[in-house]
């Protein structure tokens, strides 16, 4: 329960720290100080020290953070020290690209099931996964899948979300534009590609 007090902004930076520590692990570095990390990540060293201090005192003044221990610790905090299975709903172009996305595995994330409502897609393969009927979403709990990626058209997003939550999903990465209602017990992260791109012209 104590983790609940950590600001979301800190949690959001942890994957970036984990990526840096994992790289340092690969480079066989034993320790790294917050100043070196700050240069790598383009952050303020004070920010880094503050973020990492939420999880106990990993670092030693004048020595820095032990690379392996800290990487392991962050992995543990983010629950990425075991494979986290994710369902993907929506086997369109974006969904298909996500199944093949190479970046997930380095975080121990695995897309373990793909669903679509289009009868023409059901039964076909994406990579090593067979597209399943959306009617089978109810079975997610039994398969121990509690995370889902939503890559369906906007008009289907809320009803699919409701089904996912009924099936025990408690974390949702949502690519559908518009507002999705989820209970407070479900963590939802929205990635609205068009909104993000539409901000750029303002700065021209």
Which residues are paired to 64 by β-bridges? 60
Nearer to its own copies, 146 or 163 (CB): 146
Total residues interacting with its own copies, rule: CB under 8 A = 57
Nearer to its own copies, 19 or 136 (CB): 19
The 10 Å CB-count burial string (b at 16+, else e) for 45-57 is eebbbebbeebee
Tell which one of 33, 38, 77, 112 touches its own copies (CB under 8 A): 77
Q: What is the β-pairing status of strands 187-190 and 147-150?
A: unpaired
Q: According to CB under 8 A, which residues from 7 to 46 bind its own copies?
A: 11-12, 14-16, 18-19, 40-42
Nearer to its own copies, 68 or 177 (CB): 177
Residue listed under structure tokens 């700065």: 203
Calpha distance 96→84 (Å, rounded):
19
CB of 61 to its own copies, least distance (A): 26
CB of 103 to its own copies, least distance (A): 4
Q: Interface with its own copies includes 94 (CB under 8 A)?
A: yes
Which residues are paired to 187 by β-bridges? 171
Q: Interface with its own copies includes 170 (CB under 8 A)?
A: yes
Calpha distance 187→138 (Å, rounded):
19
Q: According to CB under 8 A, which residues from 97 to 126 bind its own copies?
A: 97-98, 100-101, 103-104, 106-107, 109
Q: Interface with its own copies includes 55 (CB under 8 A)?
A: no
Tell which one of 34, 70, 84, 161 touches its own copies (CB under 8 A): 84
Calpha distance 134→114 (Å, rounded):
9
The 10 Å CB-count burial string (b at 16+, else e) for 84-95 is bbbbbbbbeeeb
Residues 6+ apart with CB under 8 A from 167: 137, 138, 139, 140, 141
Residues that bind its own copies (CB under 8 A): 3, 11-12, 14-16, 18-19, 40-42, 77-80, 84, 86, 92-94, 96-98, 100-101, 103-104, 106-107, 109, 146-147, 149, 170-173, 177-179, 181, 187, 189, 191-204
């Amino acid at each position: 329960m104590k983790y609940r007090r950590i600001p979301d902004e800190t949690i959001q930076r942890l994957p970036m720290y984990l990526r840096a520590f994992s790289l340092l692990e690969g480079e066989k570095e034993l320790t790294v100080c917050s100043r070196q990390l700050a240069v790598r990540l383009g952050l303020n060293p004070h920010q880094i020290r503050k973020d990492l201090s939420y999880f106990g005192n990993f670092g030693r003044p004048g020595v820095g953070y032990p690379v392996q221990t800290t990487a392991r610790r962050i992995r543990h905090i983010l629950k990425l020290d075991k494979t986290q299975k994710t369902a993907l709903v929506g086997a369109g172009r974006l969904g298909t690209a996500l199944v093949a996305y190479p970046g997930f595995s380095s975080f121990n994330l695995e897309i373990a099931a793909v669903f679509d409502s289009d009868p023409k897609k059901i039964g076909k393969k994406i990579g090593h996964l067979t597209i399943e009927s959306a009617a089978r979403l109810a079975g997610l709990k039994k398969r121990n899948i509690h995370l889902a990626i939503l890559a369906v058209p906007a008009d289907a997003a809320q009803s699919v979300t409701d089904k996912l939550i009924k099936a025990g999903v408690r974390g949702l990465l949502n690519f559908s534009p518009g507002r999705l209602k989820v209970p407070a017990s479900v963590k939802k992260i929205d990635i609205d590609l068009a909104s993000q791109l539409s901000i750029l012209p303002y700065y021209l």
